Structure 1
Amino acid sequence: MTGRPPDDDQDDDGAVVRQSLERPEAFALLYDRYAPDIHRYAARRLGDGAADDITADTFLTAFRIRARFDTGRQSARPWLYGIAANLIGKQRRTEVRGLRALARTGRDPVAESWVERADSRVTAEGAQAALAGAVAGLSGGDRHVLLLVAWADFTYQEVADALSIPIGTVRSRLNRARRKVSTALGGADPTRVTDVAEATSHG
């Protein structure tokens, strides 16, 4: 098949974006690679219905502005999540409303993955309600940082790249968000990830 990029280039998102400037159809590879994860992340924050639109708009926006992407970067993942976070941020009221409803009822499958990582002393239902209330009370910036780390497994550097903020800001926002969540959960923090993110943020 003529025009097919080499296998090593297919693993390099920067190369894919570069190729797409001349062959727009090449951009579909990034959609195939990242759309399921973007959709899952958006669904956890806004629900399945909104996730369809967020995912579509993320890749439409990325395609339109792809010439601005730094093709020296191997991964487009932080860039795409940054676009998605911006789109999700525009629906902040919808997200907060859903979280506050969850805080009242204490039942939601989204929170279950967090609760599984909580201290065993925290009951699942109580943790879900408290967690939702705590997350709803975060500022938009703090919530973006917390959820990119907790749900997308981003390193501090990836969060910084996605949101176009310094690593120091990522660290301070995450620490502030974790303190609020931990207080709401009586000291347990199901959003805390391993120190790998911290280690990879240095240097």
Structure 2
Amino acid sequence: MTLLRGNGAAGARATDASGASDGSVIERSWEIPDAFAVIFDRYADDIHRYIARRLGSDTADDLMAETFEIAFKRRRRYDLAHPHARPWLYGIATNLIRRHRRDEARRLRALARVASLSTGTEHDGPEDGVAERLSADAPLAGALAGLPTRYRDVLLVIAWGELDYEEAARALRVPVGTVRSRLHRARTRLRTALAGPDRTAPTAPEKETDHG
């Protein structure tokens, strides 16, 4: 369903017209700070969209800016063995979102109420279209609100951030096995809450071989 389906655009900008990888751009920014603007240009929209889906566009404006401010300050600590910076940036953004976990839960419950009262109608305004995506399945928003933060983070960084399991593990700084376990538990809890078929299977490719 739309809520847990990726936008298809993420992950395609790890190089620019010059062919420079994210890692090489970040390394260059160590001596030429302005070079870091390339990373912002590549991923700002994706990070903003992810945060807005979870917390709303007003909060997303501030947290997206804070994500890149933190990334810039930490750029010398970036592991250059990783050519793609997306998991690193999503990890920073997710850590910032955790500070607002109560706001996120309240937002999801409010969207569930709006969706349940307005199924089949058009939505305009502060929900930024999220209520439209939830209107066909209002209980899902409430079920997401009831997930522990650690489970919701894994589920949504994969579903909305379009990270695969290895990337999610890197973003959240947990083992791949923990990603698999938390995702399984999140899906199980959602199935129980919805008392219906599993509609939350991630579309991200499963690259890891770790079964821990």
Counterpart-to-counterpart distance in 1, 2:145 and 2:158:
17
Runs of 4+ off more than 6 Å: none
Counterpart-to-counterpart distance in 2, 1:151 and 1:201:
19
Please state whether the residue corresponding to 2:205 is helix, strand or coil. Answer: helix
Please state whether the residue corresponding to 1:14 is helix, strand or coil. Answer: helix
Report how many residues are paired: 184
Q: 1:7 aligns with which of 8, 18, 23?
A: 18
1:102 matched to 2:111 = yes
Q: Which amino acid in 2 is paired with 1:170?
A: V
Task: Report the structure, 1 or 2, having the larger helix content.
Answer: 1
TM-score normalised over the length of structure 1: 0.84
- CA 1:83–1:56: 2 relative to 1, 3 Å: same
5 Å matches for 1:180-191? 180-191=189-200
TM-score normalised over the length of structure 2: 0.81
Counterpart-to-counterpart distance in 2, 1:111 and 1:139:
22
Q: 2:28 aligns with which of 8, 14, 19?
A: 19
Counterpart-to-counterpart distance in 1, 2:30 and 2:201:
40
Residue ranges of structure 1 left out of the alignment (5+ in a row): 116-123
Counterpart-to-counterpart distance in 1, 2:114 and 2:197:
20
Which residue in 2 is equivalent to 1:42? 51
Cα drift, residue 132 of structure 1: 1.0
Q: 1:201 aligns with which of 189, 193, 208?
A: 208
Q: Which amino acid in 1 is paired with 2:95?
A: N
- CA 1:15–1:57: 2 relative to 1, 3 Å: same
Higher RCO (C-alpha under 8 Å, 6+ residues apart): 2
Counterpart-to-counterpart distance in 1, 2:81 and 2:170:
13
* Cα displacement string for residues 4-33 of structure 1 (whole angstroms, at most 9, x for unaligned residues): x9923x2x1110110000000000000000
Counterpart-to-counterpart distance in 2, 1:95 and 1:60:
22
* Cα displacement string for residues 66-116 of structure 1 (whole angstroms, at most 9, x for unaligned residues): 111101211000000000000011011111111111233325632654x6x
Cα drift, residue 148 of structure 1: 0.9
Counterpart-to-counterpart distance in 1, 2:160 and 2:49:
9
CA contact (8 A) 2:166 2:208 kept: yes
Which residue in 1 is equivalent to 2:155? 146
CA contact (8 A) 2:25 2:38 kept: yes
